[in-house]
Structure 1
Amino acid sequence: MFIRAYLRASTQEQDAQRARAALDAFAEERGLAIAAYYAENESGASLKRPELFRLLADSKAGDVLLIEQVDRLSRLSDADWQTLKVKIQEKRVRVVALDLPTSWQLATPGDELTRRMLEALNGMMLDMLAAIARKDYEDRRRRTAEGIAKAKQVPGKYRGKPEDVERNTAILALLAAGNTWSQVCAATGASRSTLSRLTKAKAAVVMVA
């Protein structure tokens, strides 16, 4: 049994490694060792998370997927959560979350009956917390949209997020020099969605010209 820690933050401005100390402490208290860490800056509302799926690809039956909170694993829609859950079940990976005490015993070996009972209970709790995380995500998006709409009613109040012109110029220069998207993301800290937006905007300008 290997314990694989998954760390996620939503944006490049956030630290995906923030929860690492808490996961290390959890493992140390139980005399366990974390075999590998998988960290990425991607939205929990999307299934496009390369590191999460690399973790699952690396996992064997009985391995533990260790997370700080269930929302680090999923802020997915119900359909996408079911897709991810099927993948986890196919790999027979045990999800252990620090904010889900019912899952903690799955991090240590136990008898077959106890394990199956805990997995059944844990599955129900994961479904519930994943649904709560999704609702929180949708509520925050709704409040943000309402706030922007209200600000737009006042002339000059809403300006949006300022563009980082220097960084974006550097990104386009790196891409033009033949660097891969992965190399540019690693060098600049930008997400793949940012690269996609910039390349589309550049292509649109070229077409107009």
Structure 2
Amino acid sequence: MNVRIYCRASTEGQHADRALTSLREFSKLKGWQIAGEYIENASGAKLERIELMRLLSEAQPGDLLLVEAIDRLSRLEHSAWVELKDTLNRKGLIIVSMDLPTSWQMVEMAGNDLTSGILRAVNAMLIDILATMARQDYETRRKRPTARHRAG
């Protein structure tokens, strides 16, 4: 199974190195072949990200899109999240998040139609919930006054 690792850090002060190491180890543990690594410092609230677009252009149907957590993939507004999901579905990519066991269990149980179908439905719902929560967290953080603004 081919996996495309996507690591995103939102600020220059954050680094994706730790996440990249964890995702590589996770892929190895699962026996997945790494087909590409995509690392960027960009806001998850923007759909147009250079490395994400490169991943989408290079990905093949059936590839896994592996992230550490859904908020590393998206902090998008609802309409942009729907657009990204539609693109992933058209490309035949499967989102796998290290912190969401249903996402990788779904891949492991691909042969069992009933169980796989149930996991796909549950997983899609959980990913949507996590993406919504990531967006809400993003909006909450933007509303908080920074230390610089409080001191002024």
Same topology, TM > 0.5: yes
Task: Return the offset for 1:51.
Answer: 0.8
Identical residues among aligned pairs (%): 45
- Residues 94 and 106, structure 1, Cα contact 8 Å, conserved in 2: no
Equivalent position of 1:133 in the other structure = 134
The number of aligned residues is 151
- The structure 1 segments of at least 4 consecutive aligned residues displaced by more than 6 Å after TM superposition are none
Alignment of 1:7-22 (within 5 A): 7-22=7-22
Task: Return the offset for 1:20.
Answer: 1.0
Equivalent position of 1:38 in the other structure = 38
Alignment of 1:1-209 (within 5 A): 1-108=1-108, 110-111=110-111, 113=113, 114-144=115-145, 151=150, 157-158=151-152
> 2: CA distance between counterparts of 1:91 and 1:116?
19
> 2: CA distance between counterparts of 1:126 and 1:48?
20
Equivalent position of 1:169 in the other structure = none
Task: Return the offset for 1:148.
Answer: 5.6
CA deviations 1:68-104 (Å, max 9, x no partner) are 0000001111111111111111111110001111101
Report the AA paired with residue 101 of structure 2: P
Report the AA paired with residue 68 of structure 2: E
Report the AA paired with residue 132 of structure 2: A
> 2: CA distance between counterparts of 1:112 and 1:63?
19
Secondary structure, counterpart of 2:26 in structure 1: helix
Judging changes above 3 Å, is the alpha-carbon distance between structure 1 residues 116 and 60 closer, same or farther for their aligned structure 2 residues?
farther
Structure number with the bigger relative contact order (C-alpha 8 A, sep ≥ 6) is: 2
Q: Which structure would you say has the larger Rg?
A: 1
TM-score, normalization: structure 1?
A: 0.66
Report the AA paired with residue 135 of structure 2: R
> 2: CA distance between counterparts of 1:75 and 1:46?
8
